[in-house]
Amino acid sequence: MANAYIMCARRRSGDSFSNEPGPLRYLKVPDAVLAGYDASHIVANPREWAAEVQGLADGDENPNSIAPKGDVLVFIHGYNNSIADVLRRTRQLARDLKAEGWHGQVVAFDWPSANQTLNYIEDRWDGSEVALTLVTKALKLLSEGQTGPVKCETNVHLIAHSAGAYVTMEAFVQAEKRGELRNSPWRIGQVAFIAGDVSSGSLSENSDWCKPMFDRIMRLTNYYNPFDAALAVSNAKRLGVAPRAGRIGLPGDVTRKAVDVNCGPYFRDLPPDPDFGGISWTHSWYIGNRVFARDLAMTLEGAIDREAIPTREKNDGKLVLIDQPRPKFQDQWGIKETAKFEKARIS
């Protein structure tokens, strides 16, 4: 039976978890549990939890990935996510990626976002606080694995939805303020923002806020949707002065480490899923959509140039999401073998 692996930054209240920030705990939730996790799912030893996740990832090597071993994807959700929502969406993301040929382990970072639509002020306050937790616990654990005597070769990626993009960027900023992390050569592979609720300008090459993130990652892929109604509300709260990256895309002066994928033309003709259980269809449709999952899978694998991924086409110089299959003979390209050979050659 499969398990869901969760890093929980919610405060414990008896056997349950609340909507307030608390110490980070590591959970393993059996597939049969649907309503949400509780304290019975806590794994007492964080390093044992991390070793189990790494072992699952490394035991499921992706033949299409350039990672020398396995891949782990950490899902950082946005506002208005209950514990049941986080569990459901984490499992859905894992199923989508597996169905599209991705091998690896999906892990959730669950932080306490208020269960009200766009409770902006409270979510931002909590988001800043849990970014410290993401750094001092989760990223520190990752850093120790990459720089210790037995080096961890598992490739770790991040996907952040909505206000999760804020938590992610703030986490990298906080990491630079802590000597043991700032002076350690830890890294993250791919980072994906979906419906990112951060200002487009904050991702400018001249932005001090995004620099710590770009210094540690291989690439940022910003998936955006001009039809995102939730981000229109978010933008209106700021009187329209800070358009969101998840609605209009990246600024013109962005580092080469970042790439935009416009999902608007694809989304425009996409019928809403009658079984969709999210907050806003225009804002949260990505998880549960197989075309998006296919593009994300090839992005995480890193083997195909960002402008040649088949689920993208150029439209007026911009990359646009389209429904196309993987390359027909990709599984015969020997990508994993090439990655391992090149790693041995240059070490």
Considering only 43-57, 298-312, 333-347, which range has the smallest mean pLDDT? 333-347
Contact (CB, 8 A) for 218 and 211: no
Distance separating alpha carbons of residues 339 and 240, to the nearest angstrom: 46
Question: 283-319, pLDDT tens digit by residue?
Answer: 999 999 999 999 999 999 999 999 999 999 999 999 9
Query: Phi and psi for 10 in degrees, rounded to 5?
Result: -90, 150
pTM above 0.85, yes or no: yes
- Tracing tokens 């951060």 back to the chain, one arrives at 198
pLDDT grade for 245, boundaries at 50, 70 and 90: very high
Average pLDDT value for residue range 38-47: 95
Q: 3-state DSSP call for residue 55?
A: helix
Nearest to 197 by CA among 172, 163, 159: 163
Question: 106-132, pLDDT tens digit by residue?
Answer: 999 999 876 444 444 444 555 567 787
Could you give the C-alpha distances from 87 to 32, 56, 93, 235, in angstroms and in order? 11, 19, 10, 28
Considering only 36-40, 68-72, 161-165, which range has the smallest mean pLDDT? 68-72
Contact (CB, 8 A) for 301 and 28: no
Distance separating alpha carbons of residues 347 and 344, to the nearest angstrom: 5
Average pLDDT value for residue range 99-107: 96
DSSP states of 153-207: --EEEEEEETTHHHHHHHHHHHHHTSHHHHTS---EEEEEEES--SBGGGGSTT-
pLDDT at 281 over 90: yes
Label the pairing between strands 155-161 and 188-194.
parallel
pLDDT at 56 over 90: yes
Report how far Cα 154 is from the mean position of its chain's Cα atoms: 16
Give the per-residue pLDDT at 122.
43
Contact (CB, 8 A) for 312 and 321: yes
Task: Indicate if the alpha-carbon torsion angle 333, 70, 291, 299 is positive or negative.
Answer: negative
Question: 9-37, pLDDT tens digit by residue?
Answer: 999 999 999 888 888 999 999 999 988 99
Average pLDDT value for residue range 39-52: 94
pLDDT at 149 over 90: no
Considering only 28-32, 60-64, 272-276, which range has the smallest mean pLDDT? 272-276
User: What structural domains and CATH numbers belong to the chain?
Assistant: 3-346 (3.40.50.1820)
Give the per-residue pLDDT at 221.
98
Distance separating alpha carbons of residues 17 and 39, to the nearest angstrom: 8
Question: 179-199, pLDDT tens digit by residue?
Answer: 888 888 888 999 999 999 999
Give the per-residue pLDDT at 237.
64
pLDDT at 209 over 80: yes
Please give the mean pLDDT across all residues of the chain. Answer: 88
pLDDT at 169 over 50: yes
CB burial of residue 332 (10 Å; 0-12, 13-18, 19+): exposed
Could you give the C-alpha distances from 74 to 71, 254, 296, 322, in angstroms and in order? 10, 24, 13, 25
pLDDT grade for 144, boundaries at 50, 70 and 90: low
Considering only 54-63, 95-104, 244-253, 316-325, which range has the smallest mean pLDDT? 54-63
Give the per-residue pLDDT at 127.
57
222's enclosing H/E stretch is strand 217-224
